[in-house]
C-alpha cells in the first residue's frame, strides 16, 4: 500500500488515470482487509475467552483507524473492514454460546456504528471541498475583477493625460490668434491710428475686444482645470 501510494504521488498530475488508481487502491485495501481477517483464525481451537475478547478489541481498533483515514473514500472503508468483521463474527458464532452471540452482535453493531460515523465524516469532507472550490472560484473572480479595474484605471489615466495634452496644445493654439484679435481690436477701439468715420465700427471693435477677453478668460480657466487634474496647482 505504501509503495503504491508513493508511486502514485511520484507521477505527474496530468498523466494520472484516476479510475485505474482507484481500482488498484481498492484491491490493495481488500487484500489488507482479508489479511486482517486472517487474525480471526489465530487461536481458533482454544477456548480461551481472552483470545476472543482480543479479536473483538482488535476489530474495534481497526474500525476506528480505518474510519479516520479512509472516510473520504467509502469503498476503501468497506473493503478494508468488512472481511475482519465477518471473520470475527463467524468465530464468535461458532463458539455456540450466548455470551459469544452477544459479542458477535456487538461486533456487527460497532461496525454499523463506525460506518455511520464515517459517512458523517465523508459528508463533512465533501462539504469542505465544495467550500474550498467556491472560495477558490471567488478568489479567482476577485482577481479577474481587480485586473479589469486596474486596466480600466490605466486607460482612464492615459485618457486624462491625453486630454490634458490636448487642452494645453489647443489653448496655446487659441491664444496666438487671440493676441492679435485683442491687440488690433483695442487699437481700433482706442482710435490710435485716427478717428473712425462711422461710430458703429467703434462699437463693433469694443464688442470684438470684450468677446476676445471673455474667450481668453475661458481658455485660462480650462488651463487651470488641467493643472488641477495634473497636480501642479
pLDDT band at residue 231 using 50, 70 and 90 as cut-offs:
low
Per-residue pLDDT at 47 = 63
Per-residue pLDDT at 167 = 72
- 58 and 43 Cβ atoms separated by less than 8 Å: no
SS3 state at 99: helix
Residue 135 has pLDDT above 90, yes or no: yes
Per-residue pLDDT at 149 = 92
pLDDT band at residue 3 using 50, 70 and 90 as cut-offs:
very high
Q: What is the mean pLDDT of residues 176-202?
A: 79
The three cell numbers of residue 132 are 474550498
Per-residue pLDDT at 52 = 76
- Give residue limits of the domains in the chain: 2-144, 150-230
DSSP string, 128-155: HHHHHHHHHHHHHHHHHHHHHHHHHHHH
Tell me what the pLDDT averaged over the chain comes to: 83
Q: Which CATH class is domain 150-230?
A: mainly alpha
Q: Across 68-222, where does the E strand assignment appear? A: none
- 76 and 26 Cβ atoms separated by less than 8 Å: yes
Q: What is the mean pLDDT of residues 127-147?
A: 91
- 220 and 172 Cβ atoms separated by less than 8 Å: no
What is the chain's alpha carbon radius of gyration, rounded to the nearest angstrom? 46
Lowest mean pLDDT among 36-50, 86-100, 183-197: 36-50
Residue 139 has pLDDT above 90, yes or no: yes
Tell me the per-residue pLDDT of 98-131, one tens digit each, with 9 for 90 and over: 888 888 898 889 888 888 888 888 888 888 889 9
Per-residue pLDDT at 165 = 77
Share of the chain above pLDDT 90, in %: 12
Backbone angles phi, psi at 191, to 5 degrees: 55, 45
Per-residue pLDDT at 19 = 87
Per-residue pLDDT at 46 = 65
Closest-CA residue to 186 (of 214, 172, 207, 216)? 207
Closest-CA residue to 125 (of 52, 73, 181)? 73
Residue 134 has pLDDT above 70, yes or no: yes
- 209 and 185 Cβ atoms separated by less than 8 Å: yes
Q: What is the mean pLDDT of residues 134-163?
A: 89
Per-residue pLDDT at 142 = 92
Amino acid at each position: 500500500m505504501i509503495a503504491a501510494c508513493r508511486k502514485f504521488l511520484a507521477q505527474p498530475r496530468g498523466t494520472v488515470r484516476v479510475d485505474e488508481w482507484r481500482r488498484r487502491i481498492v484491491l490493495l485495501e481488500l487484500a489488507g482487509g482479508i489479511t486482517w481477517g486472517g487474525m480471526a483464525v489465530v487461536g481458533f481451537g482454544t477456548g480461551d475467552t481472552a483470545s476472543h475478547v482480543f479479536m473483538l478489541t482488535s476489530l474495534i481498533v481497526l474500525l476506528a483507524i480505518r474510519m479516520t483515514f479512509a472516510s473520504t473514500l467509502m469503498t476503501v472503508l468497506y473493503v478494508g473492514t468488512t472481511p475482519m468483521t465477518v471473520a470475527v463474527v463467524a468465530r464468535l458464532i461458532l463458539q455456540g454460546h450466548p455470551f459469544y452471540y452477544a459479542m458477535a452482535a456487538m461486533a456487527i453493531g460497532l461496525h454499523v456504528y463506525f460506518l455511520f460515523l464515517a459517512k458523517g465524516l465523508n459528508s463533512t469532507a465533501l462539504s469542505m471541498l465544495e467550500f474550498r472550490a467556491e472560495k477558490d472560484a471567488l478568489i479567482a473572480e476577485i482577481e479577474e475583477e481587480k485586473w479589469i479595474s486596474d486596466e480600466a484605471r490605466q486607460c482612464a489615466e492615459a485618457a486624462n493625460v491625453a486630454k490634458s495634452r490636448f487642452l494645453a496644445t489647443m489653448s496655446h493654439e487659441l491664444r496666438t490668434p487671440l493676441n492679435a484679435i485683442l491687440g488690433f481690436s483695442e487699437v481700433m477701439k482706442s482710435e490710435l491710428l485716427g478717428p473712425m468715420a462711422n461710430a458703429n465700427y467703434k462699437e463693433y471693435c469694443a464688442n470684438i475686444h470684450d468677446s476676445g477677453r471673455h474667450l481668453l478668460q475661458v481658455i485660462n480657466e480650462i488651463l487651470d482645470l488641467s493643472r488641477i487634474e495634473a497636480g501642479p496647482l
